[in-house]
Chain A
Amino acid sequence: MSAAKPPRPPRWADRFLEWYCQPELLEEIQGDAYELFDVRCEGKGPKAARRAFVWDVLRSFRLSTIRKITIQFSPDMYKSNFKIAWRNMAKHKMYSSIKIGGFAIGIAACLLIALFILDELSYDRHYPETGRIYRVIGEMTEGEFAGKGVDFPAPFAKALKDEFPEFEKVARINPNSLFTGGGNPIRRAESNQNTYEEGFTFADQELLDILQIPMVYGDPKHALDEPNTIVITKRKADKYFPNENPVGKTIIANNNTDKPVKIGGVIADFPPNSHLQYDFLITMKGVEFFPGEGNNWEASNYHTYVLLRPGTDLAKLEQKLMPIIVDKYLGANLSKAEVEQVKRTGRIYLQAVPDIHLHSADIHDGMSHGDIRFVWLFGAIAAFILLIAVINFINLSTARSANRAKEVGLRKTVGSTRGYLIAQFLSESLLFSAFSFLLGLLLAWVLLPYFIQLSGKSLQLPWFSWWFLPSIAASTILVGLLAGIYPAFYLSSFKPIQVLKGKLSKGSKNSGLRSALVVFQFTTSIVLIIGTLVVTRQMNFILNKKLGFEKDQVLLLQGTQTLGDKLPTLKKQLQQLPAVDAVTVSDYLPINGAKRNGTEMWDAKKEQQGNSFASQIWQIDYDYLHTMGMKIVAGRDFTEGMRSDSQGVIINQALAKKLNFTQPLGERITNGYQKLTIIGVVEDFHFESMRENIEGICLVLGNSPNMVAVKLHSDNLQKAVQDISATWKSIAPSQPIRYTFLDDSFAQMYNDVKRIGRICTNFALLAIIVACLGLFALSTYLAEQRSKEIGIRKVLGASVGSILGMLLQNFLKLVLIALVIAAPLAWYLMQEWLKDFAYRYQIRWDVFVLAGVAVSLLAVLTIGFQALRSALSNPLDALRSE
């Protein structure tokens, strides 16, 4: 049967040819191809002939043969298109304003977030040699000291320079407050009034060479050459030396009149998008923080920056670093087993300077950085808000298709082509997009100050950057087309006969897609709401968690080391104030940014075996535990008058557990220099951010005079502060008092969490507003569509309640589906976020219920107004027209 049929060329290729080929060329090309096919069938068989046919068709696909796309560029047509679009817009004010308003909100949100992201990405790209500047990172992958860090021993930089020709320059900085980096009181040599300044660091001259920060005064090559020189920023120079060249003048830091520092140069301020933010660079020349430090490989306090020679193979260099440093330098102090272990589990690598800001979340460098994950998160949020707005546009356009259907039918009848109609609808959506962008820009501009506060960044709209307006224009067109393309194709596809006969059921067609889009909108909104709730709860969890110390009503006096011998007097006088409970002198406080002193320690009996552990050693005085409200769970506190207590130590429970003593009291531990006897165990208290577990800590008696903590018990804080100020004034008249409250400093540790919480809240709000706007318009429209049906139902005896229920349930169903999708998604995402915290809020079901109820309520309120209006309307009004 089939053998009788002559073979035919492949149908698809034939149709493809017919589709692309210009009609006047088609007959010739197709005819020749057919003829060739027949000839080849006889010669080589049908299979080969088919293949050859396809090849011929494909080869004939040339610029000269393809159908010309017929777009008529007549300005009149566009004028008419836009005029009709404008009339349509003006006629349906409510829908138009919802479309435009929602769009504008989405665009404004996107713009602001884009500014934020651009700023995050711009960090540390401004140095002339940015591409060759790196920060050195040390990493241990296992063991007690696992983690990444940037602190290296003092001679490390020189070793790098000596051993590896790949390094053109190597520089160290030491911003550690242990060595008076951080904040210090300073004054001009001829003044005696101190001012407290922050942003001190020690630095090598090479740092200036590597970064090449522009110099305002002084010689960039030799500004930090000599001992006791300092480089300050322009803003500090303007503050202390207004209108003069400060180079060569001297300032006194920390009342240290024996060692005035000479200003070697003034650099331009570090821009806000630099990870280094210092105002005072003190030279490292001739500085040793303890005798022999220059050759000491055991104390690591230096951040090390390098400038690579051009063309260096980074991977190769990184491989060599650790082995050579260990063999030639580090190994001398280690046992053979330790050398092996360091070589196996440790590595030294280089981090490109532009990566520091966003890719340092797991690196301990004592700086606060951005986080690449938030860049992604915010980017995603912006995209979703815009998407929600685009969906509104699509939904409203297609829902109102019934109204446009007649127009389409008529236009087609009088000779409009589909292409023309598509152009018409796309112009309409472009017009909407243009209005939305204008409004969005305006909105972004108005909201910018608020967003600056929210994000903690100094941002501005780059109106005058060459790329800004063109990219806005391009986005206008892109978004306009994106939002318009589906409605345009959908609306232009109506068949005139059916439409004019009234066959197209009003707006109900395609409700499947519309429902899916609504579900998507609400899923997104619910995820954002749940996210916001979880972030807020985690925040509250942290702020209210039992900390192991009392953070309330503790006042911290800062810079007290400058009082010198008068410090005990201050303490005594403060203790006598009626509002004061207790006073302690110690720099070591359980808040981030206070002094820290991590050390390697050993169980005294096992020191020779090399089993070291990491611990903090904090110097405190007799009143510390009492003032901080910490609890002794075994043993005792330090007792005044017990001489042996100077060799005693109080450890925390975490350390006790790690040491694994059956009875820790009386056991001895050592840091290599000094053997300490455990006299007490203090209950664990959080001294770092809750992102981390509580580590071991040793409290010893000692003098650390930078800070005084005062526990108050007064209801009248103001009076208490006044009294304390007066006491301070009487003791240190030349120095202004500086104080903070412990709970404030504590809350500051979680500023970033708070910020994320606030940003999430705001954008979740925006998302839900846009989604609800869309829902409102959609429900209004559908209620209008069903007004006749409602009228008939009422005539037949339906109650207001049942009609209301009928109108509501359609949408509530969608919201419920969205909730079902959103809940597990949000749960998973938030679980991931919470992994950052060692101490975290356990997500409970009530979060989901709360989000679900809130969204349902919002949806009901949004729809309810319209639904009620339709349900209450007089059926006569709806029915009398027919």
Chain B
Amino acid sequence: MHRIHLGEFEELVLLLVAVLHGNAYGVSVMEEIEQQTGRSVNISAVHAAMRRLEEKGYLRSEWSEATTQRGGRRKRLFDITQAGRAALEQSRDTYLKLWDQIPGFAPKTNMA
């Protein structure tokens, strides 16, 4: 079985969904990206990334209750799945392993 590739932007979105923990939807993720990384992205890019992640099985989504906000439209709230978590961990491990091999660089914090 081939491994499902995780793109850089996808990884970022996946991380932020995990960070937002239960309150992750298009707008909140987009704003979080801007605040945490200073990157300005279009909402459509976030949507597309989350759609792809859901297709890959890293995210799942459910509808929120309707409110008077947003013209009465519901939010699609995303949450990270077990597979998503595993993918993130694997990615992190790979990076750490590689960082360890660079002479003269030490990780700032020990996350293990």
Contacts and interface: CB of A to CB of B under 8 A. Distances in A.
Is A bound to B? Answer: yes
Interface of A: 25, 27-36, 38-39, 55-56, 59-60, 62, 64-65
28 contacts: A25-B47, A27-B73, A28-B26, A28-B47, A28-B75, A29-B26, A29-B47, A31-B70, A31-B71, A31-B73, A31-B75, A32-B25, A32-B26, A32-B27, A32-B47, A32-B75, A34-B70, A34-B71, A35-B70, A36-B27, A36-B30, A38-B69, A38-B70, A39-B27, A56-B42, A56-B43, A64-B51, A65-B44
A31 B42 contact: no
Given A32-B25, A56-B42, 10 more contacts: A29-B44, A30-B73, A31-B74, A34-B71, A38-B69, A38-B70, A56-B43, A64-B48, A65-B44, A65-B47
A119 B48 CA distance: 55
Question: Among B42, B47, B51, B69, which residue has the most Cβ atoms of chain A within 10 A?
Answer: B47
Contacts of B76: 27-28
A869 to B, nearest CB: 65
The bracket for how many chain B residues form the interface is: 10 to 19
A51 to B, nearest CB: 13
Contacts of A39: 27
Nearest to A55: B42
Interface string B43-60: 111011001000000000
A60 B43 contact: yes
B48 A62 contact: yes
A28 B30 CA distance: 14
A34 B25 CA distance: 13
A28 to B, nearest CB: 4
A16 to B, nearest CB: 14
Contacts of A31: 70-71, 73-75
Given A64-B48, A64-B51, A33 B74 contact: no
A563 B88 CA distance: 109
A579 to B, nearest CB: 98
A34 B70 CA distance: 5
A59 B42 CA distance: 8
A56 B47 CA distance: 11
B74 A27 contact: yes
Nearest to A31: B73
Contacts of A64: 48, 51
Contacts of B42: 55-56, 59
Contacts of B30: 36
Question: Among A28, A36, A60, which residue has the most Cβ atoms of chain B within 10 A?
Answer: A28
- 3 cross-chain pairs, A with B, having the tightest CB-CB distances, nearest first: A31-B73, A32-B26, A60-B44
A59 B47 CA distance: 11
B59 to A, nearest CB: 13
Contacts of B26: 28-29, 32
A64 B47 CA distance: 10
A364 B21 CA distance: 88
A60 B47 contact: yes
Question: Among B27, B30, B73, B74, which residue has the most Cβ atoms of chain A within 10 A?
Answer: B73
Contacts of A56: 42-44
A60 B49 CA distance: 12
B50 to A, nearest CB: 9
A510 to B, nearest CB: 41
A55 B42 CA distance: 9
A519 to B, nearest CB: 50
Contacts of A35: 27, 69-70
Nearest to B46: A32
A35 B71 CA distance: 8
Nearest to A27: B73
Nearest to A29: B47
Given A28-B26, A31-B70, A62-B48, A36 B75 contact: no
Nearest to A9: B71
Contacts of A33: 43
Contacts of B69: 35, 38
B71 A32 contact: no
Nearest to B63: A27
A93 B48 CA distance: 56
A77 to B, nearest CB: 31
Question: Among A33, A56, A62, A65, which residue has the most Cβ atoms of chain B within 10 A?
Answer: A33
Contacts of A55: 42
A30 B43 CA distance: 11
Nearest to B55: A64
B89 to A, nearest CB: 28
B44 A59 contact: yes
A742 to B, nearest CB: 84
Question: Among B25, B27, B44, which residue has the most Cβ atoms of chain A within 10 A?
Answer: B44
A512 B73 CA distance: 47
B74 A62 contact: no
A34 B26 CA distance: 12
A15 to B, nearest CB: 14
B36 to A, nearest CB: 18
Nearest to A60: B44
Question: Among A29, A30, A35, A65, which residue has the most Cβ atoms of chain B within 10 A?
Answer: A35
A25 B73 CA distance: 12
A65 B47 CA distance: 10
A13 to B, nearest CB: 13
Question: Among B43, B51, B74, which residue has the most Cβ atoms of chain A within 10 A?
Answer: B43
A119 to B, nearest CB: 55
B78 to A, nearest CB: 10
A32 B70 CA distance: 7
A62 B44 contact: yes
Interface string B15-51: 0000000000111001000000000001111011001
A36 B42 CA distance: 11
Question: Among A31, A33, A55, A65, which residue has the most Cβ atoms of chain B within 10 A?
Answer: A31
B40 to A, nearest CB: 12
B43 A32 contact: yes
A25 B26 CA distance: 12
A28 B27 CA distance: 10
A582 to B, nearest CB: 96
Contacts of B45: 59
B43 A36 contact: yes
Question: Among A25, A29, A38, which residue has the most Cβ atoms of chain B within 10 A?
Answer: A29
Nearest to A8: B71
B39 to A, nearest CB: 15
Contacts of A38: 69-70
Given A64-B48, A64-B51, A34 B73 contact: yes
B3 to A, nearest CB: 22
A161 B27 CA distance: 77
B10 to A, nearest CB: 14
Contacts of B51: 25, 64
A451 B69 CA distance: 75
A328 B26 CA distance: 82
A32 B44 CA distance: 10
A38 B73 CA distance: 13
B74 to A, nearest CB: 6
Contacts of B47: 25, 28-29, 32, 60, 65
A325 to B, nearest CB: 67
A39 B73 CA distance: 16
A84 to B, nearest CB: 41
A30 B71 CA distance: 9
A524 B105 CA distance: 85
Contacts of A62: 44, 48
A34 B43 CA distance: 11
A690 B42 CA distance: 74
Question: Among A27, A32, A39, A64, which residue has the most Cβ atoms of chain B within 10 A?
Answer: A32
Contacts of A36: 27, 30, 43
Nearest to A57: B44
A34 B68 CA distance: 12
Contacts of B73: 27-28, 30-31, 34
A39 B43 CA distance: 13
Nearest to B70: A31
Contacts of B44: 29, 56, 59-60, 62, 65
B73 to A, nearest CB: 3
